[in-house]
């Protein structure tokens, strides 16, 4: 099939007329990338000021820049403190009320300090050219810690220095790449360095992990939340998975290590716990340390309990044991009597508290929003990063007794002035096994129930990443609605926030009940008279892309078009080519060479149902996606082409599982909506 006849290359104009949509004051991909993105958030020692970062992107330059802002906790005008060519990050308030940060304005990352009003900016130190990451101050400002890369193994050039232009990798073991990066023969290590009376680093940083070839924080997405100082500054807790090669690829067993600056010894506080242990946090008196702990080996989406270790008794306890909640963002109260945390509940993210010795868990907030991160202020207040499916991230102040919120920032007020958002509806759909499933339905702006609209079934990835009140800059439901589509987004089996049974049910059953849940959702919502059954599409990424490929062979005529981003097409070939084997082993319930093959290979493999494909398909994949290697997309597109199915392959050679470069992201949206516009024609016929 000549794809030039189906999809001309000219993609500059987006088809906003999917449902006769003519409104101009709606969200567009370009507008989406003009928005400021809230990043870090830190409260001053006196509890009066919030420092935070905002990143804005320049499409022409194809990059972003991050600056520091402040706003009073009591409310008032936000103030921009930096405006440099290099981004600022890694905010830390010192005990003296001054703000330190890392800036790349000089070409390399260096440590600066300034007053709370932005005045008196001074460079504190010159760090090596390789820079530093994850810097933190000890509470008494007697030390800093940070992470830097050190040599962990010889490269090909090290082994063959007389062949400097040789371009190859010699690989003898697994875990040679991760998500979107190859092993670079470097390991991220934790360093500490003393500070003088003026707050400047003195001497040289000491490597806490000297001689080791392991990473801290966990690669590639771990950050400063995996590192912590004790209140006196003389102990450092850090997260590391001290395994290499095949053992690392097959295990989630990270631990919390305690390094004592006095005796320079390291102790494993979570020894014997088989799953992920991450994000240590010391109590205010330094007598305890809490962290997030998963109980099941090899299960990356297990419940995060809150483990508390008592230094006096040397005992540890999961103080949330028995709870269905999976915790995150652990914070101690000022008196050490309570621990605050976040958890997903029924498609939202809320704040909770629990006595630090264990006891009844209290839900502190309710409502249709996400509190994505928070910091405590005094005894009964917090500031939080808040989003909804109709509102981008801003900072709010929360009364922890009443749950009342007060807005503190309006980061995108100017950019979003006059922009209409679609209505978001929270519905319940009965599944094939009689359960009640939450489904978000997002309607186009100016929705008219007397008209018929094309409708998209959105398939979530993960496979255990919840659909909540968060905002995506790619899979943005409001952007889809702005283009004239009703969006159906089910919290199908496997998505957190509905109890452990619901969460864990997907493991080993990828193509079973979760796929039935998707069909239950689209079938039920399609009973509405405003859903045009002749113009329904199915879209998704990762496990959502797998779902698209599987449904393409089993949808029984429901859909007129499919879009799969970084989807798994052939489970058999994917298993040995992905990087974190523990994920594949757990969720597939075994390997493809096991004597008793799991259903993942016999009943749930999309490749086996490709013989039934008969519907236009857009395949999107990144060349640096090592979780779902590019071969999966190439195989799916090749299958569609060889079977004469209208199809297109959007390939990003230098992107990974996500599309991160601004112009690539705009291109992604243009191709996405062009495909929908051409394959879901207003007359109900798909393009051929």
User: Residue 217 pLDDT more than 90?
Assistant: yes
Q: What is the mean pLDDT of residues 440-467?
A: 97
The residue with tokens 């992201």 is 665
The residue with tokens 């690829």 is 249
Q: Which residues are catalytic?
A: 542, 625, 657
Furthest CA-CA distance within the chain: 76
CATH of 3-29+419-679, one of 3.40.50.1820, 3.30.565.10, 3.90.870.10, 3.30.1490.20: 3.40.50.1820
pLDDT-derived band at 167, boundaries 50, 70, 90: very high
Helix, strand, or coil here: 631? helix
Question: Looking at 11-15, 356-360, 635-639, which range is the least confident one?
Answer: 11-15
Helix, strand, or coil here: 662? helix
d(CA 672, CA 624): 20
Query: What is the pLDDT, as a whole number, of residue 343?
Result: 98
- CA distances (Å), 105 to each of 49, 84, 111, 578, 639, in order? 25, 6, 11, 38, 49
User: Residue 16 pLDDT more than 70?
Assistant: no
For 295-309, the pLDDT digits (tens) are 999 999 999 999 999
Contact between residue 158 and residue 115 where contact means Cβ atoms under 8 Å apart: no
Contact between residue 287 and residue 312 where contact means Cβ atoms under 8 Å apart: yes
3-state helix, strand, coil in the chain (%, to 5): 15, 35, 50
- CA distances (Å), 523 to each of 503, 553, 554, in order? 23, 17, 14
Average pLDDT of every residue of the chain: 93
d(CA 627, CA 574): 9
Contact between residue 183 and residue 245 where contact means Cβ atoms under 8 Å apart: no
Contact between residue 32 and residue 498 where contact means Cβ atoms under 8 Å apart: no
| Domain parsing of the chain, residue ranges | 3-29+419-679
Q: What is the mean pLDDT of residues 219-224?
A: 88
For 505-558, the pLDDT digits (tens) are 999 999 999 999 999 999 999 999 999 999 999 999 999 999 999 999 999 999
pLDDT-derived band at 470, boundaries 50, 70, 90: very high
User: Residue 9 pLDDT more than 70?
Assistant: no
List the structure tokens of 288. Answer: 């305890």
List the structure tokens of 671. Answer: 């191709």
d(CA 539, CA 672): 10
Contact between residue 614 and residue 554 where contact means Cβ atoms under 8 Å apart: no
Query: What is the pLDDT, as a whole number, of residue 1?
Result: 38
Query: What is the pLDDT, as a whole number, of residue 109?
Result: 82
Query: What is the pLDDT, as a whole number, of residue 474?
Result: 94
For 548-598, the pLDDT digits (tens) are 999 999 999 999 999 999 999 999 999 999 999 999 999 999 999 999 999
d(CA 65, CA 71): 20
Query: What is the pLDDT, as a whole number, of residue 20?
Result: 42
Contact between residue 202 and residue 195 where contact means Cβ atoms under 8 Å apart: yes
User: Residue 685 pLDDT more than 90?
Assistant: no
Burial of 203 (0-12, 13-18, 19+ CB in 10 A): exposed
d(CA 93, CA 96): 8
DSSP 20: S
Query: What is the pLDDT, as a whole number, of residue 198?
Result: 81
DSSP 607: G
All residues at 6 or more sequence positions from 157 whose CB lies less than 8 Å from its CB, including other chains? 163, 164, 166
Residue in 657, 665, 666, 670 with CA at minimum distance from that of residue 541: 657
d(CA 422, CA 442): 6
516 phi and psi angles, rounded to 5 deg: -60, -35
CB atoms within 10 A of CB 85: 10
DSSP 628: S
Partners of 147 in beta bridges: 133, 190
User: Residue 377 pLDDT more than 50?
Assistant: yes
Q: What is the mean pLDDT of residues 122-136?
A: 80
User: Residue 390 pLDDT more than 50?
Assistant: yes
Instruction: Show the CA angle centred on residue 306, arms to residues 301 and 310, nearest 5°.
Output: 140
pLDDT-derived band at 23, boundaries 50, 70, 90: low
Question: Looking at 126-135, 238-247, 527-536, which range is the least confident one?
Answer: 126-135
Q: What is the mean pLDDT of residues 430-436?
A: 98
Q: What is the mean pLDDT of residues 412-418?
A: 95
Print burial letters for 162-201: b (CB count within 10 Å at least 16), e (below 16). eeeeeeeeeeeebbebbbbeebebbbbbbbbbbbeeebeb
User: Residue 18 pLDDT more than 50?
Assistant: no
Query: What is the pLDDT, as a whole number, of residue 129?
Result: 59
Query: What is the pLDDT, as a whole number, of residue 125?
Result: 81
pLDDT-derived band at 503, boundaries 50, 70, 90: very high
Contact between residue 368 and residue 469 where contact means Cβ atoms under 8 Å apart: yes
Q: What is the mean pLDDT of residues 620-630?
A: 97
User: Residue 654 pLDDT more than 50?
Assistant: yes
List the structure tokens of 518. Answer: 């998707």
Query: What is the pLDDT, as a whole number, of residue 386?
Result: 98
Query: What is the pLDDT, as a whole number, of residue 13?
Result: 39
Print burial letters for 506-536: b (CB count within 10 Å at least 16), e (below 16). bbbbbbbbbbebbbbbbebbbeeebbbbebb
User: Residue 687 pLDDT more than 70?
Assistant: no
User: Residue 8 pLDDT more than 70?
Assistant: no
Whole-structure pTM value: 0.94
Inter-axis angle of helices 513-525 and 543-552, nearest 10: 70
For 61-89, the pLDDT digits (tens) are 999 999 999 999 999 999 999 999 889 99
Instruction: Show the CA angle centred on residue 426, arms to residues 423 and 430, nearest 5°.
Output: 140
Q: What is the mean pLDDT of residues 10-26?
A: 50
Segment of 12-26, 33-47, 671-685 carrying the highest mean pLDDT: 33-47
Question: Looking at 111-115, 126-130, 672-676, which range is the least confident one?
Answer: 126-130
């Amino acid at each position: 099939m000549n794809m030039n006849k189906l999809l001309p290359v000219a993609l500059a104009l987006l088809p906003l007329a999917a449902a006769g949509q003519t409104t101009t004051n709606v969200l567009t991909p370009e507008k989406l990338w003009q928005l400021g993105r809230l990043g870090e958030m830190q409260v001053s020692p006196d509890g009066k000021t919030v420092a935070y970062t905002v990143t804005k992107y320049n499409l022409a330059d194809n990059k972003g820049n991050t600056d520091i802002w402040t706003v009073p906790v009591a409310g008032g005008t936000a103030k921009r403190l930096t405006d440099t060519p290099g981004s600022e990050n890694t905010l830390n308030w010192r005990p003296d009320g001054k703000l330190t940060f890392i800036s790349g304005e000089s070409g390399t990352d260096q440590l600066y300090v300034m007053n709370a009003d932005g005045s008196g900016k001074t460079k504190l130190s010159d760090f090596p050219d390789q820079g530093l990451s994850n810097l933190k101050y000890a509470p008494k400002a007697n030390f800093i810690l940070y992470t830097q890369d050190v040599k962990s193994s010889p490269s090909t050039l090290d082994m063959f220095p007389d062949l400097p232009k040789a371009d190859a990798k010699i690989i003898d073991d697994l875990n040679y790449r991760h998500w979107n990066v190859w092993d670079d023969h470097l390991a991220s290590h934790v360093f500490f360095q003393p500070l003088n009376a003026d707050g400047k680093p003195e001497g040289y940083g000491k490597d806490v992990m000297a001689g080791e070839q392991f990473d801290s924080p966990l690669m590639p997405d771990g950050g400063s939340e995996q590192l912590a100082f004790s209140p006196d500054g003389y102990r450092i807790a850090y997260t590391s998975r001290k395994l290499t090669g095949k053992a690392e690829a097959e295990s989630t067993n990270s631990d919390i290590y305690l390094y004592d600056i006095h005796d320079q010894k390291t102790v494993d506080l979570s020894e014997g716990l088989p799953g992920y242990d991450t994000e240590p946090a010391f109590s205010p008196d330094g007598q305890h340390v809490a962290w997030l702990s998963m109980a099941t080996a090899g299960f990356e989406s297990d419940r995060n309990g809150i483990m508390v270790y008592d230094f006096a008794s040397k005992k540890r306890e999961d103080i949330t044991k028995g709870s269905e909640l999976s915790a995150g963002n652990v914070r101690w109260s000022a008196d050490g009597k309570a621990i605050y945390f976040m958890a997903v509940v029924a498609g939202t993210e809320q704040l909770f508290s629990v006595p630090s010795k264990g006891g009844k868990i209290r839900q502190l907030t309710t409502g249709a929003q996400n509190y994505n991160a928070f910091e405590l202020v005094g005894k009964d207040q917090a500031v939080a990063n808040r989003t909804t499916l109709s509102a981008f991230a801003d900072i709010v102040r929360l009364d922890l007794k009443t749950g009342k919120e007060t807005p503190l920032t309006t980061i995108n007020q100017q950019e979003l002035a006059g922009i209409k958002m679609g209505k978001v509806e929270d519905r319940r759909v009965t599944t094939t096994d009689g359960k009640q499933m939450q489904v978000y339905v997002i309607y186009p702006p100016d929705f008219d129930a007397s008209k018929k609209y094309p409708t998209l079934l959105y398939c979530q990835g993960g496979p255990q990443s919840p659909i909540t009140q968060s905002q995506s800059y790619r899979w943005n439901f409001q952007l889809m609605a702005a283009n004239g589509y009703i969006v159906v987004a089910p919290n199908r089996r496997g998505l957190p926030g509905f109890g452990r049974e619901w969460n864990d049910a997907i493991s080993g059953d990828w193509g079973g009940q979760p796929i039935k849940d998707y069909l239950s959702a689209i079938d039920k919502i399609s009973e509405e008279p405003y859903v045009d059954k002749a113009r329904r599409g199915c879209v998704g990424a990762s496990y959502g892309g797998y779902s698209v490929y599987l449904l393409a062979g089993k949808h029984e005529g429901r859909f007129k078009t499919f879009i799969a981003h970084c989807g798994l097409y052939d489970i058999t070939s994917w298993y040995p080519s992905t990087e974190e084997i523990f994920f594949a082993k757990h969720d597939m319930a075994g390997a493809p060479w096991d004597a008793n093959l799991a259903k993942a290979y016999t009943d749930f493999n999309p490749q086996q149902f490709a013989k039934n494909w008969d519907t236009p398909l857009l395949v999107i994949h990144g060349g640096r996606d090592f979780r779902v290697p590019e071969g999966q997309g190439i195989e799916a597109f090749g299958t569609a082409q060889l079977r004469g199915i209208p199809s297109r392959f959007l390939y990003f050679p230098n992107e990974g599982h996500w599309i991160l470069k601004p112009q690539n992201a705009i291109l992604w949206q243009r191709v996405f909506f062009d495909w929908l516009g051409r394959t879901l024609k207003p007359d109900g016929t798909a393009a051929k």
